[in-house]
Amino acid sequence: MAALTVGAFLVRLSLLLESPEPPGTDGYYYVVQVEHWLAEGRFHVRDASWVLRVIALGCAVLGGPVGVKAVSALLAALCVPAAWFAGLALGRGYPAAFGLAAWAAASPTLTHLAGDFPKTLGAVAPLLVVLAWVVSGRRGWGAMLGGLVAVLLAATAHRLGASLLGLGAVGAGLGLVLRGRGAAPERKWPLVLMGVLCVASFAVLTTVLPNLLHPKDLERVSSQLDLSPGVPPPFPYFALRHTWLPQQVELGASWLGLVCGAVLLWRRRESRPLVMGLVLPLAVCLFPLWRRDVLDLGYRISLLAPLLAAPLVLLALPSARPGLQLRLGAVALVTLALLPLARFGFEPGATPPYGRYRALISRIPQPLPGLLIAHQGMNFLYDHVTGHEAMAWAPEPGLDRTRIGRLVWGVRDGEWMAYAPTQEGLPGPVRLDRDYVYVREDVYEAFLARAREEGDEDLAERLADWRNPSAVRPESLLRNRD
């Protein structure tokens, strides 16, 4: 198991190190956060996630992007022993435990999370530990304390960790109703006490700390709901982002977990609370409730489907025969041989064109604005390069537009001439390259209003592109950040 864990770490770290840039679209978010934390003792954007603190410690030792990559690979490797304990707790013997650990070690999707979404990845190992604690039957005070710590680690790593825990608890409650009173009596008070402690502790934390799951997030989540008919995840996302065949198979096979869950609900009455606790969050991951683009909520949730599907498939398998318990060496060799599959979940070169973005930033006229509106991928790079503030949102109504600059994508010079305001004293747009223009925010908003009045649909479509931020930050993102 130690060799499998170390191997999983080294395989993913070697992959992430193939690019000199920090991994993922939000790579410089982590770099900027760490730079501010190490220099000022606080994050640039206040965030309560413990994952950022661990990344900052890694960067303090290893420096810059290397520290981000090393901690991301470590978070993925920690899923291996967590999966091992979950497999043992599920009661299918050592070969099954090796099987679940092998999935964690070789999972292309965990590599994908390590590259693109380290905070989300931080919730995976604690969630597996929570699963192991729930099914282990250990209800002593030491075990309950360990379970409480695992729950809080999963819930404070990222909002999705807390969401999966909540959905799992609701599913387990539904499973208790489906099981009925006559099956598998057990002491329920330790679980009830544990649930009360977890909810109370997290309620206190989310009241005083920023960027944790909170009822105010419902507005942001509901705004991304898409209930129209469509192909369910993860299949639409294969066309939006380059994915290798092993990851496509892993994500697509998550539907097998849902099938196994349905069979288990029908055939194993005593296991219905556990099975429903996995099936409900898995169904949310797999059905197209949120569907917009490669960075949307549905995309991120679909990447967590294998975490829930793998235990369901394991539960549906028959228990290992006693003779198989003697062949652990062969099982271990097979699991180690699967490690190279982990390399097929992330493309190190699939980062934003940072070289082009650096050239654009160098051409912005001096003095730099107090705030720059720039799309995702460029906003935190701007902060890293210049030390000035940028955000991938439209400015709030109360901000002074004359002190804000904007990088505008996709507007031609003739369109600027046709729709730009003509008042004296207003600065004109500055062409940075063939696609991007720098302009003051009040000038841009006047240009946008005129273009809408004229009904130029082609221009309106380009101005609505994600590279021209138009949405104001949701109130939930500003909570507890002052």
53-99 confidence digits (pLDDT tens): 999 999 999 988 899 999 999 999 999 999 999 999 987 667 778 88
Do 183 and 236 sit in the same domain of this protein?
Answer: yes
Q: What's the pLDDT score for residue 294?
A: 44
Do 250 and 176 sit in the same domain of this protein?
Answer: yes
Confidence check: pLDDT of 325 > 90? no
pLDDT digits (tens, 9 = 90+) for 168-209: 999 998 998 888 765 555 556 666 777 788 888 888 888 888
Listed residue (155, 96, 106) closest to 129, CA to CA: 155
Do 375 and 413 sit in the same domain of this protein?
Answer: yes
Do 300 and 198 sit in the same domain of this protein?
Answer: yes
Do 107 and 256 sit in the same domain of this protein?
Answer: yes
Q: How many domains does the chain have?
A: 2
Do 111 and 234 sit in the same domain of this protein?
Answer: yes
Mean pLDDT of the chain: 87
Residue 197 CB contacts under 8 Å (≥ 6 apart), including other chains: 148
Please give the average per-residue pLDDT across 375-394, as a whole number: 93
Band of pLDDT at residue 162, cut at 50, 70 and 90: very high
Do 258 and 241 sit in the same domain of this protein?
Answer: yes
- Structural domain boundaries enclosing 318: 2-345
The Cα 111–Cα 159 span in angstroms is 20
Per-residue DSSP letter, 327: -
Do 320 and 364 sit in the same domain of this protein?
Answer: no
Band of pLDDT at residue 335, cut at 50, 70 and 90: confident
Do 50 and 134 sit in the same domain of this protein?
Answer: yes
Do 327 and 391 sit in the same domain of this protein?
Answer: no
The secondary structure of the chain in percent helix, strand, coil, rounded to multiples of 5, reads 65, 5, 30
Q: What's the pLDDT score for residue 326?
A: 45
Length of the chain: 482
Instruction: Specify whether the CB–CB gap between 393 and 54 falls below 8 A.
Output: no
The Cα 44–Cα 34 span in angstroms is 8
Do 393 and 333 sit in the same domain of this protein?
Answer: no
**3-state class of 174 per DSSP?**
helix
Do 407 and 327 sit in the same domain of this protein?
Answer: no
Query: Minimum mean pLDDT among 139-153, 220-234, 305-319, 414-428: which range?
Result: 220-234
Listed residues 293, 323, 345: the one ending a domain: 345
Listed residues 325, 345, 365: the one ending a domain: 345
Listed residues 315, 345, 375: the one ending a domain: 345
